[in-house]
Amino acid sequence: MRSDDRGVLDMPVRLAVAILIIATVTPVLMGMVGTAEDVMSSSEAEVEADRLCDGISRAYYGGEGTMVSVELSIPPGQALEMGGDEEYVIRILDGGREIDRVYIERPAVPVLEPVKIAGRTVVTIQSGVSDGDYGVWVSA
């Protein structure tokens, strides 16, 4: 091990470089963790939307008047919204803004009235005809 002036000067430079690297990498890593949390949260809501789609399909195939109940648990701060102008879409909302969509297909069944679902709840789905259109009503 050498002990000269050069070693004494190199140590503060090495520490400064190490601190600079840590300071540069930390925000990037924190951003990645935040993004991963958002993706996991939206995927939980997407699983619930898929379960809702399955219930809609069962009510649709059961014929007019069929009622199906589905228990949903949507993560806090998020909601599922469907019906209205886009009657074949379940919108996944986080804090009021749309973060994802799940399309009701196989079969494409319209949701006849707008509804918003949040939290842990049991949803009732009933098939029927409204103004000549066959579809489903969803109520929480």
> Would you say residue 40 has pLDDT above 90?
no
pLDDT at site 125: 96
Q: How many CB atoms lie within 10 A of CB 89?
A: 18
What CA–CA distance (Å, rounded) separates 6 from 14? 12
Quick one: pLDDT band at residue 50, thresholds 50, 70, 90? very high
pLDDT at site 35: 66
Q: In what order do the strands lie in the sheet with 120-130?
A: 67-73, 120-130, 133-139
Average pLDDT over residues 92-106: 90
What CA–CA distance (Å, rounded) separates 39 from 60? 31
> Would you say residue 29 has pLDDT above 70?
yes
- Token pair recorded at residue 129: 């005809």
Average pLDDT over residues 38-62: 86
Cα dihedral: 39, 45, 49, 55 (round 10): 140
pLDDT at site 51: 94
Is the full-model pTM beyond 0.75? Answer: no
pLDDT at site 7: 59
pLDDT at site 26: 82
- Token pair recorded at residue 119: 């939290």
In terms of pLDDT, which residue wins out, 5 or 51?
51
